[in-house]
Every structure is written in C-alpha cells, then in structure tokens.
A and B are shown apart, each in its own frame.
Chain A
Amino acid sequence: MAVMRYREALNQALREELTRDERVFLMGEDIGVFNGAYKVTAGLLDEFGEQRVRDTPISENTIVGMGVGAAMTGTRPVVELMTVNFSLLAMDQIVNHAAHIRYMFGGQVAVPLVVRMPQGAGHQLGPTHSHSFEALYLHVPGLLVAVPSTPADAKGLLKSAIRDDNPVIFIEHEYLYGQRGDVPDADDGDHLVPFGKAAVRREGSDVTLVGISRMALTASRAADVLAEQHDVSAEVIDPRTLRPLDLDTILASVRKTNRCVIVEEGWPHGGVGANLAALIQEQAFDWLDAPVGRVTGADVPMPYSKPLEQIAFPHEPQVVDAALATLRDV
C-alpha cells in the first residue's frame, strides 16, 4: 500500500497493464513527449516507446475510430481524450461504432477499447472544457461507464477496463487528479476493482446519499455535517460504474434508510439522478418515506467567472439540505 495521487494511480495502472499485455497500447493528443495534458501518462513514452505510446494529431473522431478498428483486430487500445467536451467530436465513433459494432454484426467481434477523459467544473475553464457527461454515455447500450472517485478505484477500475472485452468510457475528474489516497501497489498483488460493484463509503441508517464521480466525496463530506450538526446518520454509496450499475446495493440501502438523495455534477434533465430515481421508485416504491431527492449541476453551460461557476455545481451544504428535506415530514 502506498499513498499517491489519483493521476499517479492511473499512471501505475497504465504502466502495469502495458507491462502485462503487449497488445495494450496508448493513443492520444500530447500523451507522449508532453507527458499528457494532466500528466497521467508521464514517463510512459520513455518506458514503452513510440509504438505503444502514440502521440496523435488533433483528430478526436479518427483517433477513437482507429481505436475501434484496432480493438476489432486483436489489440487493446487505450485512447486518451483531453477533456470530456472533446469527446463530443468523437460521438460518431463512440456511439455509432464502438457501442454498436458487436450487436449490429451479430456478435462476431468484440471492441475491447478504453476511452479515457477527464471531466468536471471548478477550474474556470468555461463552457467548452468543464462539463460532466456521464449521463450521455450511460444512455448508450453497448458502452460501459466508469466514474472513479478515489485513487485506489482509479487504478483498480482502469486495470479492469483494459482487461474487459467491451468498450469502456472511463471518466476521470480534473479536480480529483491531485487528490491523494491509499493505493495498493505491486506488493499487494494485482489490484483490480470489478465493474458493477458499488462502494459503501459510510454506513448509515437515516438516508442514503448516492454520489457520482467527484460528488461521492462531496456526499461523504455532507454526511459528516449531517452527523455532527443534525444527528442524522447518512449512508454514502459510490456506484463507481454506471454501466453495469450495482443497483442491488443501492436498493438494499434504500430499503434500510427509506430515503435517498442522488448527487451529481451534470445537468438535471435526463441526468444520472433522473434515471436512478426512476429505477429506485420502480423497484423500491413501498420502502420510500419521501420522494427521491436530487442535487445536480445547474441547468446552464458552465460559466467562467469564479463565483458563478462555484454556484453552478453542487457543494455539501446543498446536499445536507436535500437530505434534511427527505426527513422533514417524518
């Protein structure tokens, strides 16, 4: 076990998988000589060479498409896109091709492709570099979606993603890159976090908080406030992957607490919370003592100005208020 930053944990995952399987290779803009826009790939070009750590031109749709083709024919590409907003340039290859090829060709091929990208607000990058689009990718059958919030999960989920035979949208977070945490290293054996297994970050009995991506941390801090200032015991769940979704763990928690608030950074309409609230009321209606609450990003393009930006995505006071609202009428 070692303490390291989220970006270092990702780097370690890439290094271990490049070492383990020579079919694995990396492609992306400035991932090599420049060491990556967020330094996730630092040092890998020197270690693995130009064949396996490939700097690409700025051609998102084609980079992802080449990843699709390479994945169909025996290699295991890991494509880095510089931000989640740039992935929209590759939407055709991600949705029409990566996600659908196996199905539309009757199961004859698999597409073991990983597309990594950071998302999230808070760095004053304005409306083209700051969004949270996990809901867009969650929408698409054929894709797997991972949203790791801790360094240990970042490493373990990325290693699992690279070994999975399905296309994976692997959504990192700009804010989280610098966060530290305990991470199993090589001395602890192969650290794999399975897809489809939520993490219960904190056990509680009064309300379930489901936090997506960075919001798992925000929800945990809100749970601290709820316990210290309001005598409310909140259970915090980090789904870690949205497809496959560990709905069973979320439902078991809701059946225990009878209340639920979902926290996400993305937009409210058609968001992860909207989807999850629908599933919860379908599967656990009789256990609910209050409407499922949602705390989401504001329904606006992300503004640049710092005070405006800061009120456009959720913080713990809003989560605390939403949790208390589910308890109010009891």
Chain B
Amino acid sequence: MTAAVSRPASRGKVKRMATTPAARRGRSGAEGGAAALPEPDAAREWLATMQLIRRFEERAGELYAKAKIGGFLHLAIGEEATIVGAARALRERDYLISTYRSHGHAIARGTPPEAVMAELFGKEGGCSRGRGGSMHMFDLERRFMGGYGIVGGNLPIAAGFGLSADLLRTDDATLCMFGDGASNQGTFGETMNLAALWRLPVVFMVTNNQFGMGTALERHSAVTDLQRKGEGFGVPGVECDGMDVADTYRVVCDALKRAREERQPVLIEAITYRFRGHSMADPEEYRTREQVAEWRRRDPIALWAARLVEEGVLDEDAVEELDRAAVAKVDEAVAFADSSPFPAPESLYDDIYVLGDQLRGWYSVDERGPEPHRGEHEREMPADAIPGREIYDRHASGPHEGTEERPADEAQAEDEDATAGEGRNHDGERGG
C-alpha cells in the first residue's frame, strides 16, 4: 500500500487553499493599485474583443453539443482578460504562440472569427484549412504562430522564434503562453535555461488557471508560485492579475520591453481561472461549485465593463450594444463556417512537403486501395480513382448537418453531474 503518500482524490478532501481568488489577489497589484485605463477607444476595443471571444466560445460549446464540431474542445471562458491583455501588449510584428486552448488567442490577434469557426467545423475556410482543428489554430499573416496540442511542446519553438530574431537582427519579440501544467514538463526548464543563456527576446507567460486538466495546482507542482519556477534558470518572474485586462496589459508590456531592449527573458504568471471544464467532456469532480462560483464573481468581462462604466468611459447601454455586436459577429462566423466546403478529398496529401523542382522520388506511399501509388499524385488523379471516395461523401454530408445530438452537453454536465460526450474516448487528454 502507498497510503502514506497517496493524495485523497475525492471531492471535498483535496486541499484547495491557493485556488481562491482572494488568496491570490493579494499578491498581484502589489505594485500599487489598479492599472491605468488606456485611451477610451482601446478600453472599448478590449471589452469588445473579450466579449467576442466569450460569445464565440459559448457558441462553440453549443455547436459541439450538436456535433458540428469534433474532437476535443477546450474553452478559455474566464481567461479572456489574460488573452486580450497579453495580445494587446504585442507589436504587429511580434510573435504570439499558445496552446491547444487558443481560439481566443487567434481572435485577439485579429484572425477573423469566421476562419476560427470554420477551423472548428473542419472546413477548407478554416485558419488551418481544416487540418488542425480546435487545438491547432494558426495565422502566419498575423504572427499568431499556433496552438499546439502537446503540453510544453511550444516552449522550445518560441525560443526558436527568438533565436531567429537574434540572428536576423530584428527587434521582434515573442510571447509564449502555456498552462500551469506545462510548467512541469522538461521543456520548461530546458527552454528557460537556453533563453536566459542566449539572452533571447522571449516572454514566457504561464496562464495559471489553477488546474492541469483535473489536477489542482498544489497537487501537481511543488512550487505553486509559478513565477518563481524560472528563477533558478536565470529567468525572473512577475505576476499579473489575469482577471484584470489592464493589469495583464501593463505587466506584459513591461516584460516585452525588458525582453526586447535588455534581452532579458521574463516569466509572467497570470492568475486566472477557467469557468468551464478542461474540455467539453469534463464532469469536474476535482473542484467544488462554490469555488467556481467564487471565481465567477471576478468574471474578467464583467469587471472590466463595470470599471469602464464607473469611470465614465461607457454607459450600460453601450456595454450591451457591444455585446450584441459580438453575438452578431459570431452569427456571421457560424454562417461562414456552415457554407465553407470541407477540404476536397484530393487535397489529403497537400502540404506534407514543400515540393518545388525536386526530383520526384516517392515521398508518400498511399496503400488505401488495391493500387498503391504516390500520395502526392492524388491531385492529378481522376476524382473517382481517389481511395475512399464513398466514405468521404458519406461524412461530408453527415454530422455537419447537426443532426447528431450529443447525449450531454456542457450545461447538462454541470446540472446533472453527468459525463459529457458519451461514447467518445477521452483517454490521453492532458492539460495545463
């Protein structure tokens, strides 16, 4: 028996002392009061973008329940201030790189919601042409350098962007966002060390939403002040209130300045909370409703709206008007995603390789039918010769019509404590 070292896993017994907003709030904002308001236009735009992300993700959750969206769907509802505050601190040419929870990051960077929703639908009009899905958003033009499905996998890549900036003598900085769970991966320490050693212009931001999937912070990390985890590698830490868009903006601006001008990488810990489950299939047995409710009282969008009203930037009607506009944009995104075609069957082998004028040895071998052939030749094959054509047609006219109701959606999971996504295998999911 390992009773001496085992931790209680049942509800109510797990220590959660550090995961209340009050416990963490005291340390942020310690530098003196609320962060300054930006110009009114910016203040409104931040609110509008947070509302858009919220409405977008709420709708995505509904559409997932209707089987319009497949795979996993990780919502960042509750983390909008962290996302928008961080994204707005970036210059146009700076790089942003994130995780598998990054619908909002793409939208905040300027990717049209249409392209993000179409990606969720697996459509050709998606920002990754339907190849990536929820976990793998990407928009090179806006330097949103991707959502990554491997926890901790994006940290070395972010340092590589910094290395390019160094070698090409640009002053482009990189902001690398990841979850609290990723701070336990080997790449975390390795990347901190290398970024500090080589003085790369990279800001690391750990989005501490209190849980690595379903494992609470104090049960997965010996050091729970995550900003301190870089110190031994030469990366100083700083904290921001991830529920306050202005505080997040201020702290990320300062860190980017240090990274860019002093070549000093910084680790920011954004204290936040995800209001929804880890993914849509999360019965949330690892936390109490009281805890969720307590954090929801610090809803970052409501807080920001209240402050803008209080300080006379907006009135209540204007807040509601912005929200209605966000809903309308989401409607447009869904309409676009619905009308966008699925990627064509002959495009299956597109973009595995960059093929220019190289010799055409066999790059990919297709063995799906009785006549094995080079995958890269499928573009030139007659449509009826593509293996699996009938299977493609069946699916292209199937679940996206929304006829396949999922047995339990997020709301039901909350109300009935049911396990959502019955019949789907969620093994192997990891989180940060």
Contacts and interface: CB of A to CB of B under 8 A. Distances in A.
Interface of A: 23, 25, 51-52, 54, 56-57, 59, 61-75, 77, 92-93, 96-97, 101-110, 141-142, 144, 164-166, 194-197, 241, 243-248, 279, 282-283
Interface of B: 95, 126-132, 136, 138-140, 145-146, 148-150, 153, 155-168, 186-187, 190-191, 193-194, 197-198, 350-354, 356, 358-365, 372, 375
A247 B364 CA distance: 12
A5 B322 CA distance: 70
Contacts of A68: 156-157, 160
Contact of A67 (B148, B153, B160): B160
Nearest to A68: B157
A11 B95 CA distance: 34
Contacts of B95: 73
B132 A62 contact: no
Contacts of B160: 65-73, 77
A317 B198 CA distance: 52
Contacts of B350: 107
Contact of B194 (A57, A102, A110): A57
Contacts of A109: 138, 140
Given A57-B197, A96-B150, A102-B354, A66 B359 contact: no
A62 to B, nearest CB: 4
Contacts of A110: 354
Contacts of A74: 164, 168
Given A105-B131, A107-B351, 14 more contacts: A57-B193, A65-B155, A65-B157, A67-B160, A68-B160, A70-B164, A73-B95, A73-B160, A106-B127, A141-B375, A142-B353, A164-B358, A195-B358, A196-B359
B130 A106 contact: yes
B164 A61 contact: no
Contact of B153 (A54, A93, A141): A93
Contacts of B139: 108
B359 A195 contact: yes
A70 B198 CA distance: 14
Q: Which 5 A-B pairs have CB atoms at the shortest separation, nearest pair first?
A: A69-B160, A65-B156, A196-B361, A244-B361, A106-B129
B343 to A, nearest CB: 9
Contacts of B162: 69
B138 A105 contact: yes
B157 A108 contact: no
B163 A66 contact: yes
B167 A66 contact: no
A72 B157 contact: yes
A18 to B, nearest CB: 12
Contacts of B190: 57, 59, 61-62
A232 to B, nearest CB: 29
14 contacts: A25-B167, A61-B186, A70-B164, A72-B161, A73-B95, A73-B145, A102-B352, A104-B132, A105-B138, A106-B129, A194-B359, A243-B363, A244-B361, A246-B359
Contacts of B164: 69-70, 73-75
B159 A65 contact: yes
A194 B358 contact: yes
Contacts of A51: 166-167
A197 B194 contact: no
Contact of A105 (B146, B165, B186, B362): B146
B350 to A, nearest CB: 6
A59 B362 CA distance: 33
Given A59-B190, A70-B164, A197 B129 contact: no
B126 A106 contact: yes
Contact of B157 (A66, A106, A141, A246): A66
Given A92-B150, A142-B352, A66 B138 contact: no
Contacts of A279: 365, 372
A213 B36 CA distance: 64
